[in-house]
Chain A
Amino acid sequence: MNAGGILTAAVAPAVAPVIALVGNPNCGKTALFNALTGSRQKVANYPGVTVEKKIGRLTTPAGRVLQIVDLPGTYSLRARSPDEEITRDVVLGRLQSDVNPDLIVCVGDASNLRLALRLALELKRVGRPVMLSLNMMDIARKRGVEIDVARLSRELGVPVVQSVAVRRGGTDALLGEIDRLLEDLPLAQAADWHAPDAGELRSAQREADRVLRAAVKSSGERDSGTAAVDAVLLHPVAGLVVLLALLFVMFQAVFAWARPLMDVIQDGFTWLGTLVEASPLPDLLKSFFKDGLISGVGSVIVFLPQIVILFFFILVLEDLGYMARAAFLMDRIMGGAGSVIVFLPQIVILFFFILVLEDLGYMARAAFLMDRIMGGAGLHGRAFIPLLSSFACAIPGIMSTRVIDDKRDRLTTILVAPLMTCSARIPVYTLIIGAFIPDREVWGFVGLQGLVMFGLYASGIAGALGVSFIIKRVFWHGEPGEPFMLELPDYKLPRVKSLAIGLWTRATIFLKRAGTTILSMMVLIWFLASFPRPPAGATEPAISYSLAAMLGSLLQPLTEPLGFNWQINVALIPGMAAREVAVGALGTIYAIDGGEGAADKIGQAIAGQWSLATALALLAWYVFAPQCASTLAVIRRETGSWKWMWVTFGYMLALAYAAALITNQVARALGAG
């Protein structure tokens, strides 16, 4: 380490300097952020809005601690969406927040610099130090793009470095330059920026084109691989066929691939459950650490947080005075939580597909292919991405509607996003399909269970398209919406590290949700199903005397026409907190009812007690029902009004009731009652 580095480390300011990454969408900014900060990331929200604030820390070669902020991608500071407003406000230091940048790093895709250079010229006017990082240099070189870095720096008037986010040492030059700049940082000047008009934009782009011609030699040809792949994937007919096939494969894979992993986790939980029954707590803890961690039940690391929380609950309940019932309590709660955690592999696989498609650059193509079709239903092509994300969870889906500039298009998308089949419905669907739909093949190669699953997804999509069509006619009176304009980036191979970080973030978010909301609901359910205790000499099963039964029969007149029994009614109540809780709740209800039915026996229990009509009606209910308080809360937050939240709740409830009613009555009429 040189003397300068030691010196600066010694006099380092108390607050670590903030470096903001700004760039066009698809410039590899997030990969660069992941390469710089690795797992030292914090994802929070900007105050008052739900735009994700991604901050990471790192130590430079000179020993300086930095905070790196990854800002939403944009073409211009002339913000048009809430995401872009955040980028603008952070860059201009307008935000009352801890992220006022000391240095702005403009990130550009080295093989596609034209728009990035214009953005860099605009960033020069905000009065803060700016540098340009030519990202993905490896790909640019392979395509024969030659960049005269010194010339580019001179013409632009800002320092320029090269970076390869995905290679070891690929960010050394960037970090070196950041260190050098921070050494002698000019004071931030008053911003000279105002929203440019068309004339200013035009001359800025002309200037950028001049710089590009002077410093960059490139054939200007399209990437041949991208061109060849697009010839098929953007073909008017073949493109749509591939898209639909891809979605179908995704759902089959989510169903099939996750199975072995789920079995492993299921077995692990069953085993832990029996262990709990057999031994007092200290022994359990001991054997958990000895056998559980070392021999490993599935990927223990993934659900370690869950187990920690479980033990926390168990210990708290013991301390509260439930000593006598401890073993029983532990068994039930772990069975219930286990049945939910089991679906983690499916969620991870789904996100794996979404992230891979996004990294590959296919998502923008899918939006291109779907624009006209969705436009017919009153949806914007860009709504495709939020709606696809909603297959995993409506909450990130609704949040990502921020990429839609137009308020009306955005609102329509928000209203229909909860109709997309989110991963929380998968446990319910899987349970009922597994119990009632025979596991056989149709047409020789397609599993009937997978087909029914696909049908449920299709119903959700059809519902969403229908509702958005009506919204457009009723609320917007068919006025023309926002233009569809979207860059189609060159295809790129997804990078393992970025993918791993993305998956990890989502898996932990799911586990957190499971660990807090779901687990506390399980305890509540157990309480409702266990108290009051049956009177002495009771002949009925204990649960018939419980609060849960009273609640269930209270709702009975309303749900009778749907074919729901009181057990379903009880499960639907906590299912409001999170859809998948209903599975754990049914487990608790039937396990207590049946005396010794473990969580993995829920399917057998309901297969014996429900009619096929009831099962199908519940599936239909779950396609449409607003069974997720968090989604409703996010809608309120994103639309800024209670009105749209209640509109969503109301229309979904009405759809669900109608769908379940029709399904039940038709199925009965056909003899499935």
Chain B
Amino acid sequence: MTSKATIALGNALVGFRGRIRELVVDKAGVGLPGPELERRLIELGFVEGADVELLHQGLFGGDPIAVRVAHTTIALRRREAMAILVTPALPA
């Protein structure tokens, strides 16, 4: 797997399916300190290796987004989802 295919979940489109590769929380502009954001994301199930699918998005600016992660559906804003780096699933 090359790192070229890796994108931030915050940039993904509705219908995106993939797997979490890494959490990177050192981005600026987030309302929370990085380590705290990382812990919250993990508590909601965003850990490396988990399968994700972008299910829905809001009307204005496509924000927030609803993400299926493993067996749970989580709503979050794209700003925070930028910390979740994902690789697309291979086309079936």
Q: Which of B31, B39, B63 contacts A481 (CB 8 A)?
A: B31
Q: Which of A206-245 contact B (CB under 8 A)?
A: 206, 209, 218, 220, 222, 230, 234-237, 240
Residue of B37, B38, B42, B79 contacting most chain A CB atoms (<10 Å): B42
Q: Given that A115-B72, A485-B74, A487-B74 are contacting pairs, would A201 and B42 also be in contact in the complex, using a CB cutoff of 8 Å?
A: yes
Q: Given that A236-B57, A236-B58 are contacting pairs, would A198 and B39 also be in contact in the complex, using a CB cutoff of 8 Å?
A: yes
Is A222's CB under 8 angstroms from B68's CB? yes
Measured between beta carbons, the chain B residues less than 8 angstroms from A218 are 71
CB distance from B44 to the nearest CB of A (A): 6
Measured between beta carbons, the chain B residues less than 8 angstroms from A236 are 56-59
**B47 at the binding interface (Cβ < 8 Å):** yes
Please tell me which stretch of A311-319, A352-360, A365-373, A418-426 contacts chain B, meaning at least 4 of its Cβ atoms lie within 8 angstroms of it: A365-373
Q: Which of A111, A198, A220, A485 contacts B44 (CB 8 A)?
A: A485
Residue of A220, A372, A480 contacting most chain B CB atoms (<10 Å): A372
Is A368's CB under 8 angstroms from B31's CB? no
Q: Given that A78-B39, A372-B59 are contacting pairs, would A367 and B31 also be in contact in the complex, using a CB cutoff of 8 Å?
A: no
**Cα distance, A490 to B74, chains bound together (Å):** 11
Is B59's CB under 8 angstroms from A240's CB? yes
Measured between beta carbons, the chain B residues less than 8 angstroms from A406 are 31
Is B68's CB under 8 angstroms from A115's CB? no
Closest B residue to A406 using CB positions: B31
Measured between beta carbons, the chain B residues less than 8 angstroms from A230 are 55-56, 66
**A660 at the binding interface (Cβ < 8 Å):** no
Q: Given that A234-B66, A368-B66 are contacting pairs, would A483 and B47 also be in contact in the complex, using a CB cutoff of 8 Å?
A: no
Q: Which of B39, B71, B74 contacts A488 (CB 8 A)?
A: B74
**B12 at the binding interface (Cβ < 8 Å):** no
Is A198's CB under 8 angstroms from B66's CB? no
Q: Which of B37, B44, B50, B79 contacts A75 (CB 8 A)?
A: B44
**A202 at the binding interface (Cβ < 8 Å):** yes
Measured between beta carbons, the chain A residues less than 8 angstroms from B73 are 222, 487-490
Measured between beta carbons, the chain B residues less than 8 angstroms from A368 are 56, 58, 64, 66, 75
CB distance from B88 to the nearest CB of A (A): 18
Q: Which of B39-87 contact A (CB under 8 A)?
A: 39-45, 47-51, 55-61, 63-64, 66, 68, 70-77, 79-80
Closest A residue to B69 using CB positions: A114
CB distance from B38 to the nearest CB of A (A): 4
**Cα distance, A365 to B12, chains bound together (Å):** 21
**A381 at the binding interface (Cβ < 8 Å):** yes
Is B43's CB under 8 angstroms from A76's CB? yes
Is A485's CB under 8 angstroms from B80's CB? yes
**A197 at the binding interface (Cβ < 8 Å):** yes
**B15 at the binding interface (Cβ < 8 Å):** no
**B13 at the binding interface (Cβ < 8 Å):** no
Per-position binary interface string of chain B over residues 7-31, scored 1 when its CB falls under 8 Å from any chain A CB and 0 otherwise: 0000000000000000000000111
Q: Write the residues of chain B forming the contact surface with A, with a CB cutoff of 8 angstroms.
A: 29-32, 35, 37-45, 47-51, 55-61, 63-64, 66, 68, 70-77, 79-80
Q: Write the residues of chain A forming the contact surface with B, with a CB cutoff of 8 angstroms.
A: 75-76, 78, 80, 111-115, 118, 196-198, 201-202, 205-206, 209, 218, 220, 222, 230, 234-237, 240, 364, 367-369, 371-373, 376, 381, 406, 480-490
CB distance from B17 to the nearest CB of A (A): 12
CB distance from A22 to the nearest CB of B (A): 14
Measured between beta carbons, the chain B residues less than 8 angstroms from A486 are 74-76
What 5 pairs between A and B have smallest CB-CB spacing? A236-B59, A234-B56, A488-B73, A480-B31, A201-B42
**Cα distance, A75 to B42, chains bound together (Å):** 10
Give 19 new A-B contacts, CB below 8 A, not counting A118-B43, A483-B37: A75-B43, A80-B40, A113-B71, A114-B45, A115-B45, A115-B72, A197-B35, A198-B38, A201-B43, A202-B47, A209-B50, A230-B56, A236-B56, A481-B31, A484-B80, A485-B44, A487-B44, A487-B72, A488-B75
A-B contact pairs, 19 of them (CB 8 A): A114-B71, A197-B35, A198-B38, A198-B39, A201-B39, A202-B48, A230-B55, A368-B64, A369-B58, A373-B60, A381-B75, A480-B31, A483-B32, A483-B37, A483-B40, A483-B76, A483-B80, A485-B41, A488-B66
**Cα distance, A480 to B27, chains bound together (Å):** 14
Measured between beta carbons, the chain B residues less than 8 angstroms from A118 are 43
Closest A residue to B31 using CB positions: A480
Is B42's CB under 8 angstroms from A202's CB? yes
Closest B residue to A122 using CB positions: B43
Is B42's CB under 8 angstroms from A198's CB? yes
Q: Given that A205-B42, A220-B70, A488-B73 are contacting pairs, would A483 and B31 also be in contact in the complex, using a CB cutoff of 8 Å?
A: yes
Measured between beta carbons, the chain A residues less than 8 angstroms from B49 are 209
**Cα distance, A115 to B73, chains bound together (Å):** 12
Closest B residue to A376 using CB positions: B60
**Cα distance, A198 to B31, chains bound together (Å):** 18
Q: Given that A115-B44, A240-B59 are contacting pairs, would A480 and B64 also be in contact in the complex, using a CB cutoff of 8 Å?
A: no
**Cα distance, A216 to B79, chains bound together (Å):** 34
Q: Which of B31, B45, B61 contacts A372 (CB 8 A)?
A: B61
Is A206's CB under 8 angstroms from B47's CB? yes
CB distance from B19 to the nearest CB of A (A): 13
Q: Given that A75-B43, A236-B59 are contacting pairs, would A484 and B70 also be in contact in the complex, using a CB cutoff of 8 Å?
A: no
